[in-house]
Copies of this chain bind each other. A is one copy, B any other.
């Protein structure tokens, strides 16, 4: 199953790290706790829509860019799952 919070969290972490900024800096700018931002980035907590907007604002990144990047990443994962399913089916047929 594709878990959107993991994909969006990884995307947010990547953008923060690309900017050379710390969790402390971005959480301060977004007015969320450092622990919360860290959990969101690791896909362990669902960010509410309002906090996701605040985090994108702190990263000076349009929400649309994060969503589109997440869409591409999800498509890549879906393709991998589909291919893995096809390989498994081929093995069952060949057995």
Interface residues of A in 1-37 (CB under 8 A from B): 1-6
Are B53 and A64 in contact (CB-based, < 8 A)?
no
User: Which chain B residues border A68 with CB–CB below 8 Å?
Assistant: 67-68, 71-72, 75
User: Which chain B residues border A63 with CB–CB below 8 Å?
Assistant: 2, 4, 74, 78
Hey, which bits of chain A sit against chain B, CB under 8 A? 1-6, 46, 48-50, 52-53, 62-72, 74-75, 77-78
User: Which chain B residues border A2 with CB–CB below 8 Å?
Assistant: 53, 63-64
**Complex CA distance for A65 and B67, rounded to whole angstroms:** 11
User: Which chain B residues border A5 with CB–CB below 8 Å?
Assistant: 49
Instruction: Select A75's contact among B52, B53, B64, B77, beta carbons within 8 Å.
Output: B64
